[in-house]
């Protein structure tokens, strides 16, 4: 079922244009997946998700195993049917949320034990259980159960965490049963370029269908995230999809694409929408600002989404201030549409050999710097040097 | 612009089948208007409102004059454009909300002074201002500014309140400018049949385009509401639309239609939806109940709405318990669809001379009694006698 093919490599960067096929249909890459944490992309119906141009959705193993329970979803026909989304779904392994949301009680060599943030029940999660839960959910892309190295972490702790990830990668492969599902491995190594290289070497020797760069966007500055990302991405097999987990801003997306990333997910468009913050062709717009109270303009004059073609900023300002559900809905529709339009723009730019100009335009819109302008951190300390700017991308 | 025509009178009751035309299109009557309090039908987009079969929306003068302000809405092109609803809109006069939501500071012969529930500002509302605000909003149907008699109220207080309503009806007519708008009068008289008759006689002599029965569904028992309604409705001019404000349950709707009412509005379908309560062909369903956790059934097996054709009760139970916005959205879509399907069923039943059977079926579904089985309250005291059941409707 699972196929990944690169249609074109950008001549000016490491960007790739491709196509990912699953049992539930395909998406063009680079692709941004909408986050559907608890079995819903917050605030919007599957019909609206489609109308926003979203082709692929992410589900959270941690949330769904706690409530309503993966066996219940399996009995009801799997996550696709449960949430009425018939397109491709990727599920994460649950590990990241255990660390960020649960009351972690114990991590050992074989897995983690934690207390549910919902009812306080003691729960065990390990590679075998993560594969079982994701099998219950029936997602198209399954993520290996990994140990997400926190930031900051010293070299010894990062190495130990990485070793655990590698062992759990084998356990995940052992318990993964295939069928219509595909399994992705996750590269760790923290902020140490040589550990990233070691992790990529170890993991890429294993029979995963794709690879994620994990352990980024966990609190580290862009000064570390960007050089580590552009160092790691080219170390992943060229013929398999590369997925940057939990990233990011529009500037992050064009930067990561230029470093060779094919897949993304992030709560930012949906969460920011509910907080009244829009991504637009003019940069960020905070809809609650009094300046919008009388504005007859759409949220984004360049946008063709339902929100921008039907409502003024004045209206959105009003319903946001009034605490209306529709404010979350309409802002989410716009932000999801913006992200999908951005990804379509990226793909068209690569196809037309004008990706550098497109990237520069987005970076300028959000006053962000190019990923290739960031110096590499020190191999031993993980610290960023003052100089050592690389001028040209290395695509491996 | 405004036209109302009765296409058929039911042979078995006082029910009427009709058509209401406005500058923003028409609706078949009996019609149920979705409530769009603050310029949004809570939880759903105008597109979803249409998909639910809603043809006409109600806006609240009180809420919109406080925030975002009616002059702002006027500058932005009126309420239709502001909320992106191009169908007919009726606005209430603001009076009812002043009593139920605001900190009322003074009522005098010419209007009311109150403190905004939003910012505590002192605000004046009277017939002139209500007409001005509703003109700013640009609604198709404008309601006269009335004094909604509270429940309970003794005969003297009810008479005094009614007299104020009659005076304000004249003031409203004096300040109403017409254009594409039409003005409805509101009959009061509390729970006293003879005062209701007096109010109907007084008001119906004035040049209103339609008439509302006000002061019902204000806390009184059905033992009072039903007989007062079936007594009052036939006293209104047959050729003009009759509107029962703020009512009600599905049983209320079939009962009121059988008493001769053409128009309704109520927050019940939308508010109950957000509280997890659905109206269905099987009666009420509380979606949070554990019994639905594993249910593969739709919310209502007889319903063709987006919610019922795409999601199981198990899914709705899950997202409701998880506190997801989508629970409010999907439940609202169903309840609005149910109400519209109910109204379409009423209209079809009248057209096919089978309204009594349809009404009986709805009353049975909700274990409710027929409006004509309720004895009339005492003319002088407003109290309900133990007997005196009328067997046959009087349609005036």
Q: What is the DSSP string of B30-94?
A: SEEEEE-TTSS-TT--HHHHHHTT---EEE-HHHHHHTT-HHHHHHTT-HHHHHT--S-EEE--S
Which parts of chain A fold into alpha helices (H)? 46-51, 61-66, 70-75, 79-83, 95-100, 127-137, 155-175, 193-204, 222-232, 250-258, 268-274, 306-310, 313-321, 325-351, 355-365
CA B118 to chain A, closest CA, distance in angstroms equals 10
Of A40, A319, A326, the CB nearest to B324: A40
> What 3-state DSSP class applies to A40?
coil
Query: Which chain A residues are closer than 8 Å to B328 by Cβ?
Result: 325
Query: Nearest C-alpha of chain A: how many angstroms from B68?
Result: 6
Q: Which residue reads 């109520």 in tokens? A: B266
CB B174: neighbour CB atoms within 10 A? 10
Residue in A38, A47, A319 nearest the CB of B40: A319
Smallest CA-to-CA distance from A179 within A221, A141, A124 is with A141
Nearest C-alpha of chain A: how many angstroms from B233? 35
Contact, A160 vs A142, CB < 8 A? no
B314:A72 CB<8 A: yes
Does residue A391 have a pLDDT over 80? no
What integer is the mean pLDDT of A78-85? 98
pLDDT computed for residue B210 by the predictor: 98
Q: CA-CA distance, B176 to B89, in Å (whole number)? A: 17
d(CA A16, CA B346): 59
> How far apart, in whole angstroms, are the C-alpha atoms of residue A49 and residue B325?
14
pLDDT digits (tens, 9 = 90+) for A249-293: 999 999 999 999 999 999 999 999 999 999 999 999 999 999 999
Q: What is the rounded distance in angstroms from the CA atom of residue B23 to the CA atom of residue B41?
A: 21
Rounded to whole angstroms, the Cα distance separating A328 from A275 reads 8
Summarize pLDDT for A45-73 with one digit per residue, the tens: 999 999 999 999 999 999 999 999 999 99
> Helix axis angle, A127-137 relative to A155-175, nearest 10°?
50
Q: What is the distance between the alpha carbons of residues A361 and B360, in angstroms, rounded to a whole number?
A: 66
What is the reported pLDDT for A208? 98
In Å, what is the CA distance from B59 to each residue of B19, B50, B56, B287? 21, 16, 10, 28
Does the annotation count A265 as an active-site position? yes
Query: What is the distance between the alpha carbons of residues B287 and B310, in angstroms, rounded to a whole number?
Result: 16
Beta bridge partners of A278: A285
CB contact under 8 A, A39 and B319: yes
Instruction: Please state the pTM of the whole predicted model.
Output: 0.97
Torsion, CA A124, CA A130, CA A136, CA A140, rounded to 10: 160
Give exposure, A354-370, as e/b (b: 16+ Cβ within 10 Å): ebbebbeebbebeebeb
Does the structure show a pLDDT above 60 at A387? Answer: no
Write down the pLDDT at residue B393.
61
For tokens 């300390």, what's the residue? A381
DSSP B234-279: GGS-TTS-EEETTB--HHHHHHHHHTT--EEE-SHHHHHHHTTEEE
Token duo for residue A392: 């040209």
CA distance A337 to A53: 6
DSSP characters over B138-188: T-SEEEPP-----SS--HHHHHHHHHHHHHHHHHHHHH---TT-EEEEEE-
> Which of B325, B336, B337 to probe by mutation at the A interface, max A CB count within 10 Å?
B325
Q: What are the C-alpha distances in Å from A23 to residues A8, A137, A181, A198, B151?
A: 23, 14, 8, 33, 62
> B76 vs A296: CB contact, 8 Å cut-off?
yes
Residue of A92, A126, A262, A300 marked catalytic: A92
The distance of Cα A65 from the centroid of its chain, to the nearest Å, equals 20
Q: To the nearest 10°, report the CA torsion of A354, A358, A361, A367.
A: -130
Please give the pLDDT value at position B307.
98
CA angle B41, B46, B50 (to 5 degrees): 105
Separation CA A24–CA A252 (nearest Å):
28
Q: How far is it, in rounded angstroms, from Cα A169 to Cα A178?
A: 15
Contacts of A324 in chain B (CB under 8 A): 38, 40, 42
User: Which pLDDT value is given to residue A99?
Assistant: 81
**pLDDT tens per residue across span A118-168:** 999 999 999 999 999 999 999 999 999 999 999 999 999 999 999 999 999
Q: Is the predicted pLDDT of residue A309 greater than 80, yes or no?
A: yes
| Domains of chain B and any CATH numbers | 3-266 (3.20.20.105), 273-353 (no CATH)
Neighbour count for residue B311 (Cβ, 10 Å): 24
The predicted structure's pLDDT at residue B395: 75
pLDDT-derived band of residue A95, with 50, 70 and 90 as boundaries? confident
With beta carbons under 8 A apart, name residues in chain A contacting B42. Answer: 324-326
pLDDT in the model for residue B102: 78
* Rounded mean pLDDT, A211-230: 96
Residue B72 has its nearest CB partner, among A294, A325, A329, at A294
pLDDT in tens, A160-189: 999 999 999 999 999 999 999 999 999 999
Distance, in angstroms, between B67 CA and closest chain A CA?
A: 7
Contact B39 A318 (CB under 8 A): yes
Measure CA of the first residue to CA of the last residue in chain A; give whole Å: 28
pLDDT at residue B1, rounded to an integer? 79
Question: Tens digits of per-residue pLDDT, A326-365?
Answer: 999 999 999 999 999 999 999 999 999 999 999 999 999 9
Hey, what are A30's tokens? 């680079």
Residues of B in contact with A311 (CB under 8 A): 84
CA dist list (Å): B273 to A46, A120, B287: 19, 30, 9
Tokens of A262: 């094919």
Mean pLDDT across A12-41: 98
Cα Rg of chain B, angstroms: 21
Do the Cβ atoms of A271 and A290 come closer than 8 Å? Answer: no
Cα(A17)–Cα(B306) distance, integer angstroms: 36
User: Which tokens in the block code for residue B243?
Assistant: 């509107």
In 10 A of CB B114, how many CB atoms?
23
Residue A329 to residue B328, Cβ atoms within 8 A: no
A375 in Cβ contact with A227 (< 8 Å): yes
Q: In this structure, what is the dihedral angle of CA atoms A43, A47, A48, A53, given to the nearest 10 degrees?
A: 130
- Contacts of residue A68 in chain B, CB cutoff 8 Å? 293, 314, 317-318, 321
Q: What is the pLDDT of chain A when averaged over all its residues?
A: 96
Q: What is the number of CB-based contacts under 8 A between chain A and chain B?
A: 105
pLDDT value for B104: 79
Annotated catalytic residue B136? no
Residue A154 CB neighbours (<10 A) = 11
Question: Based on C-alpha coordinates, what's the Rg of chain A?
Answer: 21
Low-confidence ranges of chain B (pLDDT < 50): 388
Q: How confident is the model at residue A89 (pLDDT cuts 50, 70, 90)?
A: very high
Query: Which ipTM score applies to this complex?
Result: 0.96
- pLDDT score for A393: 62
Percent of chain A with pLDDT over 70: 97
Find out whether B151 and B177 touch, Cβ atoms under 8 Å.
no
A198-231 as b/e, with b when 16 or more CB fall inside 10 Å?
bbbebbeeeebbbbbbbbbbbebebebbbbbbbb
Residue of B nearest to A82 (CA): B315
How many Cβ atoms are within 10 Å of A240's Cβ, its own excluded? Answer: 17
């Amino acid at each position: 079922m699972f196929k990944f093919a690169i249609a074109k490599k950008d001549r000016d960067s490491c960007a790739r244009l491709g196509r990912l096929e699953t049992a539930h249909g395909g998406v063009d890459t680079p692709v941004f997946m909408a986050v559907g944490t608890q079995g819903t992309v917050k605030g919007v119906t599957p019909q609206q998700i489609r109308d926003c141009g979203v082709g692929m959705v992410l589900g959270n193993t941690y949330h769904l195993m706690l409530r309503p329970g993966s066996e219940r979803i399996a009995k009801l026909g799997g996550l696709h049917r449960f949430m009425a989304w018939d397109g491709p779904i990727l599920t994460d392994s649950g590990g990241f949320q255990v660390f960020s949301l649960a009351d972690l009680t114990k991590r050992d060599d074989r897995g983690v034990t934690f207390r549910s943030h919902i009812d306080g029940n003691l729960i065990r999660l390990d590679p075998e259980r993560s594969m079982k839960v994701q099998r219950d959910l029936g997602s198209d892309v399954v993520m290996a159960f990994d140990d997400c190295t926190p930031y900051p972490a010293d070299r010894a702790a990062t190495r130990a965490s990485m070793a655990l990830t590698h062992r759990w990668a084998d356990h995940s492969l052992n318990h993964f049963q295939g069928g219509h599902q595909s399994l992705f491995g996750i590269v760790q190594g923290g902020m140490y370029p040589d550990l990233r290289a070691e992790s990529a070497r170890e993991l890429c020797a294993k029979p995963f269908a794709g690879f994620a760069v994990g352990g980024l966007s966990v609190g580290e500055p862009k000064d570390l995230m960007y050089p580590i990302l552009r160092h790691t991405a080219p170390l992943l097999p060229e013929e398999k999809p590369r997925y940057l987990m939990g990233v990011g801003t529009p500037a992050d997306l064009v930067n990561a694409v230029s470093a060779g990333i094919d897949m993304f997910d992030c709560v930012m468009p949906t969460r920011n929408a509910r907080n009244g913050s829009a991504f637009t062709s003019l940069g960020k717009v905070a809809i609650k600002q009094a300046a919008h109270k009388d504005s007859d303009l759409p949220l984004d004059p360049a946008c063709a989404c339902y929100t921008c073609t039907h409502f003024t900023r004045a209206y959105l300002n009003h319903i946001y201030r009034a605490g209306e559900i529709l404010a979350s809905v309409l802002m989410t529709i716009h932000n999801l549409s913006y992200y999908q339009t951005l990804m379509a723009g990226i793909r068209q730019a690569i196809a037309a050999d004008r990706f550098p100009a497109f990237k520069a335009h987005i970076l300028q819109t959000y006053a962000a710097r190019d990923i290739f302008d960031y110096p590499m951190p020190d191999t031993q300390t993980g610290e960023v040097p003052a100089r050592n700017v690389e001028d040209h991308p290395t695509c491996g």
